[in-house]
Amino acid sequence: MRKFVFLFALFLITINVNSQELNCLVNVNFDQIAGSNRQVFITLQKSLTEFINQTKWTDRAVKSEERIDCAMTIIITSREDNTFTATLQVQSSRPVYGSSYATPVLNLRDNDFTFKYNEFDPLIYNKNAFESNLISTIVFYTYTIIGVDADTFAEFGGETELKEAQNVMLQAQQSGLSSWQNVVGKQNRFLLIDNLLSSKLKTYRNAMYEYHIKGLDTFVNNKDFGKQAVEDAVLSIENIYNKTVGNFLIRMFFDAKADEIVSIYSDGPKTKNADRLTTSLKNISPNNNSKWRNIE
């Protein structure tokens, strides 16, 4: 009996430290599709939820409470038989040490998402071949979420997962779909993972680490220090301005962080480079100038 209890307890411990990596909320919105079989969308949402959340994506030992909170919202814009055109919103967050606050890490919108799907199609990922744009796109963003999240806890900590995302991209290029190709001037999946792994743009990933570990995670013990560290991280991103098509990584950063930055710097004592920060923000993220006025 004692042996049984011990083995059962060991089993529970093993399960607890070998959880899947993601806690993903999947939503398939089909409001724009009239008069079609809507059950297929409900089935797709359920299948994707199970596929993402029940797959073990890495060799990392993950406790259940360490799963990454994220969301994928698929908005179906057209349908022709079993072919769907959609946009995909990808969002993720991570907890801030010593608080109940979750900071946004990713907030991406993919406007070029087409796929084929028949209700009850099995969702199976083959890392050695492209078989489905639905699967490849979802797996690509799954590894991107995990990789970028890991970068916020350790310097370049998500290298393995980002290279997995790169492998998905390389396999998917055989499909001929433009979202996977190196198309001049196009901000797509190719450009995203190419930029994230570029040695010329590594300042971005280092800034993500500094922003979270030395910045937000220190607020609980020393808010002034943390605020200064966040400022330093944001200012460092200016070093990659105009080094990539459309400043993809910079736009991605502020799509996730703009509101948070305003919240941090809109009150309290000024940091040592406060004026430079405001000038830099207006320069590298002019689309958010209406927000930056709140921290002048």
Structure confidence at residue 1 as a pLDDT band (50, 70, 90): low
Range scoring the smallest mean pLDDT among 70-79, 98-107, 122-131, 270-279: 270-279
Question: Which long-range contacts (C-beta less than 8 Å, at least 24 apart) are formed by 261-268?
Answer: 261/230, 261/234, 261/295, 262/291, 262/292, 262/294, 262/295, 264/227, 264/230, 265/227, 265/231, 265/295, 266/294, 266/295, 268/223, 268/227
Structure confidence at residue 154 as a pLDDT band (50, 70, 90): very high
Residue found under tokens 């991103």: 237
Q: Looking at residues 203-219, what average pLDDT do you find?
A: 98
Range scoring the smallest mean pLDDT among 27-41, 110-124, 201-215: 27-41
Q: Is the pLDDT of residue 14 over 60?
A: no
Nearest to 215 by CA among 195, 237, 248, 193: 237
All structural domains of the chain with their residue ranges: 20-197, 211-296
Q: Residue 239: CB partners within 8 Å, gap ≥ 6?
A: 203
The stretches of the chain forming alpha helices (DSSP H) are: 2-17, 39-54, 133-151, 159-172, 189-196, 202-209, 223-237, 248-265, 274-284, 289-292
Q: Is 79 helix (H, G, I), strand (E, B) or coil?
A: strand
Cβ neighbours of 128 (radius 10 Å)? 7
CA distances from 187 to 12, 30, 110, 279 (A): 44, 25, 9, 26
Q: Looking at residues 197-218, what average pLDDT do you find?
A: 97
**pLDDT given for residue 192 in this prediction:** 97
Nearest to 61 by CA among 12, 93, 101, 18: 18
Cβ-in-10-Å burial (0-12, 13-18, 19+) of 115 comes to: buried
Whole-prediction pTM: 0.93
Q: How far apart are CA 177 and CA 196, in angstroms?
A: 21
C-alpha torsion sign, points 48, 54, 55, 61: positive
Nearest to 67 by CA among 10, 151, 146: 146
169-180: per-residue pLDDT in tens? 999 999 999 999
71-86: per-residue pLDDT in tens? 999 999 999 999 999 9
Q: Is 156 helix (H, G, I), strand (E, B) or coil?
A: coil
226: left (phi over 0), alpha (psi -120 to 50) or beta: alpha
**pLDDT given for residue 11 in this prediction:** 42
Residue found under tokens 């963003």: 141
**pLDDT given for residue 184 in this prediction:** 82
Q: Looking at residues 117-124, what average pLDDT do you find?
A: 96
Residue found under tokens 């492209």: 130
CA distances from 35 to 30, 79, 258 (A): 11, 11, 39
Mean pLDDT of all residues belonging to the chain: 92
**pLDDT given for residue 138 in this prediction:** 99
Q: Looking at residues 256-268, what average pLDDT do you find?
A: 94
Q: How far apart are CA 20 and CA 65, in angstroms?
A: 10
Which one is predicted more confidently, 167 or 271? 167
Q: Looking at residues 48-65, what average pLDDT do you find?
A: 95
**pLDDT given for residue 16 in this prediction:** 47
Structure tokens of 37? 């079989």
DSSP 213: I
Q: Is the pLDDT of residue 230 over 60?
A: yes
